[in-house]
Amino acid sequence: MIACDMSPEVARARAGGTPLVALESTIITHGLPHPQNLDIARRIEAEIRAGGATPATIAVLDGRLKIGLEDTQLDDLAKAGDVRKLSRADLPVAIATGATGATTVAATMIAAHLAGIEVFATGGIGGVHRGAETSFDISADLHELAQTPVTVVAAGAKAILDLPKTLETLETLGVPVITFGQDAFPAFWSRDSGLAAPLRLDNPRDIARSHRTRGQMGLAGGQLIANPIPAADEIPRAEIDRAISTALGDAKTAGVLGKDVTPYLLDRMQALTQGRSVRANIALVLNNARLAARIATELGKIAT
């Protein structure tokens, strides 16, 4: 098995039986603007601690797979300008060559599973991009959810994506898409995407039980928990839709491709909404961290 480095805090949690929640690092390096990203990363970790669980932010530093970052490591990652974005395909290459990189949802799920962590909180997952019928741009996150047994708490998927195609793909892959507490699938900055969620659960205990049941049945893959942004923080659909159209047009004009697409769009959205998209992003990630801590706590009470 590949060696991973547990931070002292994560090692203590494991020894003491405290529930763990994994966190990705691409959101820090490519998803949120510097310098707020460090402060936000710390607040997300604090929210998990306040919920009685221990955060494990995941990254590759000089070829070492880190499960939990110390504060100086988090600081270095947040300010480094040219960190690689590591998904499933990139993770082994980065480890083998001593590189440094931030993990996406897919890579964070892999690392969490290697470390025995069952719950992971993030903002939004990657999905099927608009125009995928010609670009074939479909995030590896979707296939990861189909094969790695981690419950991922996200605020749905961003409306910069093609949400109907994203949901169809998840259905084909047999990934349970479970909305928390409402029927509509949330669209990241807005509570309602206008699409019905395939499944709904209203409490963390049921989410934990269905995670366990998947494992007991020998089914591969995890669960996507779609947790709507708090009402006070959402951006109305009409308002966000205008910015999305402009951002997509700009990406096309600039000829952005591959793994640069998502960071480019997030950056354009921040500029087009005068930072409002980032404020909503922060609120929803904190909300997801709270729910993930509750699910991890419930999972700790159920035997495997």
Asked if 29 contacts 102 with a C-beta cutoff of 8 angstroms, the reply is: yes
Residues 6+ apart with CB under 8 A from 268: 243, 246, 247, 250, 251
CB of 132 to ligand PSU, least distance (A): 11
Can you tell me which of 113, 158, 191, 268 binds ligand PSU, judged by CB under 6 A?
158
The answer to whether residue 268 forms part of the interface with ligand PSU (CB under 6 A) is no
Asked if 60 contacts 85 with a C-beta cutoff of 8 angstroms, the reply is: no
CB of 199 to ligand PSU, least distance (A): 21
The residue with its CB nearest to ligand PSU is 31
Asked if 242 contacts 208 with a C-beta cutoff of 8 angstroms, the reply is: no
Can you tell me which of 7, 151, 169, 262 binds ligand PSU, judged by CB under 6 A?
262
Is there a catalytic annotation at residue 45?
no
Quick one: what does residue 124 bind among Mn ion, ligand PSU, none, with the CB cut-off 5 to 8 Å set by partner type?
ligand PSU
Can you tell me which of 9, 141, 162, 298 binds ligand PSU, judged by CB under 6 A?
141
Can you tell me which of 105, 159, 167, 243 binds ligand PSU, judged by CB under 6 A?
105
Residues at the interface with Mn ion (CB under 5 A) = 137
Spatial separation of the C-alpha atoms in residues 40 and 90, rounded to whole Å: 26
Asked if 103 contacts 91 with a C-beta cutoff of 8 angstroms, the reply is: yes
The answer to whether residue 259 forms part of the interface with ligand PSU (CB under 6 A) is yes
Enumerate the active-site residues: 24, 158
